[in-house]
Amino acid sequence: MALARVAGLVAASPVAAAVAQIDPRPLGEHRRVLSLAEVQTAFDFEPVFHGNVILPVYDYTAHGDGSEFTLRRNRQAFDWVDILPSRAAIPASQVDLSSELLGLKMKFPIIVAPTAAMVPLHPDGEIGMFKAATAASNTLMILSTNTSTPVAQVAPASPGGTLWAQFYPLQSLAATQQWMDTYQNAGAGGVIVTIDQQASYYERTQQDRNFGGRVARTAGPGAGAGSGTAVLTGAARYRINSGRLWYTWQYIDAVRKMVKGPLLIKGILDPQDAGMAIDHGADAIIVSNHGGRSMDYGPSSLEVLPEIVAAVNGRIPILFDSGIRRGTDIFKALALGANGVMIGRTARWGLAAFGTAGAQRLIEMLQQELVQVSAAAGCAKLSDIGKKAVKANFV
């Protein structure tokens, strides 16, 4: 009993939690985990997820690049933005946050971000996440290139749902065309090209490998992550990925010709890059640092959002991700100029904890939290959420 209490105290301590990220583990001292009916915030899902999966699966979701400075900064940045009190608060029933994104009608400005390999999180996998997103007010879901379920199986699994797909650049234009055909033939309406440095091999992942963990790789278009394992040799042993750092805007020009629907560029952190994305045919951009997974010691996504919004000046929609855990986080990103936000790790917590029902509950929880803070701030509609509602004090 004494040992159990010590273990609980260690798990709940701020120092232990900070190893991965600054989010709390509120259940560390509990004798049992919460049921789905009992969860009250997104943070309640995370320790259930932690207890459900093996360490390498948990660490893949939890960790970031290098020292994880950027991972932590993504969360800290939300603390540097105040929501200003309003004398014109309104009932939540009067809040309508519906909008339209590139022809797609959305009840809430929240999107499920592309994240890899969901079947290891829970047997429901990507199909479960898509069903959850659809059930939660037909929330748009973006399928990762590194899906553990082929897109041809995911797309028809939730009739009436909306599925787009994410893609990492390949130097072969023929292979790129094959991926585009696979996505579009399956019914993925939009394509998101990720142009940041991509997720690197993390030190924690390398450590897990020494104890029997493996890094999965994708076998080909539509194939799931986990279809094979890679033994790293040469420069790859030191986290140097030959598939990175070659991207060109000319490549984006070529992809633009292959994509029939909306083309979005993900990983923008610089105003000039935002302008270049527009010049090369992007229909929207996503301000993102890959959740702190692409390059350590970079800025948080939230810090650079206002200057990118100013540079774009309304020419195309701007989406935002990296670090969102609460409805207040979403409100702050919207107030600083984002047209919508994407949730990655947080959605994974819900799926891994309770499957499809958990993912749906988590998405709906964030939707309702956003409604509540909007009502308290006197914002009846999405266009009311602007710079006057917040005060940023970035450090």
Which residues are catalytically annotated?
290
Q: How many CB atoms lie within 10 A of CB 118?
A: 29
Closest CA to 167 of 295, 270, 262, 70: 262
Q: CB-based burial of residue 276 (10 Å sphere; 0-12 exposed, 13-18 middle, 19+ buried)?
A: middle
Instruction: Spell out the residues 6+ positions from residue 111 whose beta carbon is closer than 8 angstroms to its own.
Output: 139, 140, 141, 142, 319, 340, 341, 342, 343
Kindly tell me the number of DSSP H helices and DSSP E strands found in the chain: 14, 14
In degrees rounded to 5, what are phi and psi of residue 20?
Answer: -100, -50
Q: Strand locations in the chain, DSSP E?
A: 81-83, 99-101, 104-106, 110-112, 141-143, 163-167, 191-194, 216-217, 228-229, 263-268, 284-287, 318-320, 340-343, 390-392
Whether the CB-CB separation of 266 and 166 falls below 8 Å is answered with: yes
